[in-house]
Structure 1
Amino acid sequence: MKIKVISVGKLKEKYLKEGVFEYVKRLGRFAKVEILELPDEKTPDRASQAENDLILQKEASRILTKIGERDFVIVLAIEGQQFASEQFSHQLSEAMVKGYSDLTFVIGGSLGLDAVVKKRANLLMSFGKLTLPHQLMRLVLLEQIYRAYMIQQGSPYHK
């Protein structure tokens, strides 16, 4: 199993880097984990909608080059489905049962994601209506992926 996390923007804060490293290490017993940081486009102050759309298109182009044809793609989007941890674990299990060996997660930048990336998704997933920094979202996502595997193992970690 291979897990790929594609994220727009660079992780800067030391505490987030350490947390991400910890969960990548923990997940190593279940899957090969690859973190891909893609550059974000600079957004001018008071950018027009057209400027924002162009930025999203450029970021989408970079993202799509990193997604394999046979990847099961889960895109994080506020309008996506919300899952309890057990349901999320089941979703990952089902993807494996259906023959997907590569799970790819996509986290957009500060403007979100272009519709073309969302269209490529096998699943749109939301962590709720709260707005979270996309850098923090990487850590939260990795913890939930780890939790999903621990649920599958019947581990008390989830309790």
Structure 2
Amino acid sequence: MLSVYLICVGKLKEPFYKDACAEYIKRLSAYCKLTLVEIPEVKLSKDPTLGEITNALAKEGDAIRQKIPPSARVAALCVEGRMRSSEEMARMIPAQGSQDKHLVFLIGGSYGLHPSIKAEASVQLSMSPMTFPHHLARVMLLEQIYRAFKINEGSSYHK
């Protein structure tokens, strides 16, 4: 069974985000082994400098790297990534019996991901040119992963 990792910077606090994520994690259990990893967001001052932000992103990036399994395919969510349709997203999900055993999605914190993490990812994925809270992006990504599995099985979920 494919292992899907969702590595996120920051912890969900709002119950409605937690409930939505829990629902999609439950649904995904029929299709993959999903591991959700939350990396603590580095605390910054109220009005951080660019240098402070860069240092925080580098520390978060190091913590993310430690959680990525060896030989995983990594997709980083970032504004400069390429937008994909749900069908294209479904093609990112390896078929049963594929050599790919681990698929990892990365979601940064409120300042995104360090440039080195984005550069190391095999895919840079953008959800939209609009700005969303990174906690909402987690829900949206889980739904799209679930939708991808449903597309691949030929279900009517995706209309």
TM-score range, shorter chain: over 0.9
- Show the 5 A alignment for 1:1-80: 1-80=2-81
Structure 1 residue identity aligned to 2:77: L
Describe the superposition over 1:103-150 as per-residue Cα deviations: whole angstroms up to 9, x where unpaired. Answer: 010000011110111122010000011111111111100000000000
Distance in 2 between residues matched to 1:115 and 1:5, nearest whole Å: 19
Deviates more, 1:43-52 or 1:55-64: 43-52
* More helix per residue: 1
1:155 and 2:141 equivalent? Answer: no
Q: Secondary structure at the match of 1:57?
A: helix
Structure 1: 5+ residue runs without aligned partners?
Answer: none
Structure 2 counterpart SS, 1:125: strand
After TM superposition, where is structure 1 displaced by more than 2 Å over at least 4 residues in a row?
none
TM norm structure 2: 0.95
Tell me by how many angstroms 1:69 deviates. Answer: 2.1
Is the contact made by 2:94 and 2:100 (CA closer than 8 Å) also made in structure 1? no
88 and 97 in structure 1: CA distance in 2 versus 1, 3 angstrom threshold: farther
Q: Which residue of 2 aligns with 1:119?
A: 119
Q: Give the TM-score of the pair, scaled to structure 1.
A: 0.95
The percent identity for this pair of structures is 38
Cα drift, residue 97 of structure 1: 7.1
Mapped partners of 2:87, 2:8: distance in 1? 24
1:14-65 deviations in Å (ceiling 9; x for gaps): 1111111110110001100010011001121221111111111111110010
Provide the alpha-carbon RMSD of the alignment: 1.3
> Following the alignment from structure 1 to structure 2, what is the Cα–Cα distance between the partners of residues 98 and 128?
29
- How many residues align? The count is 158
3-state DSSP of counterpart to 1:104: strand
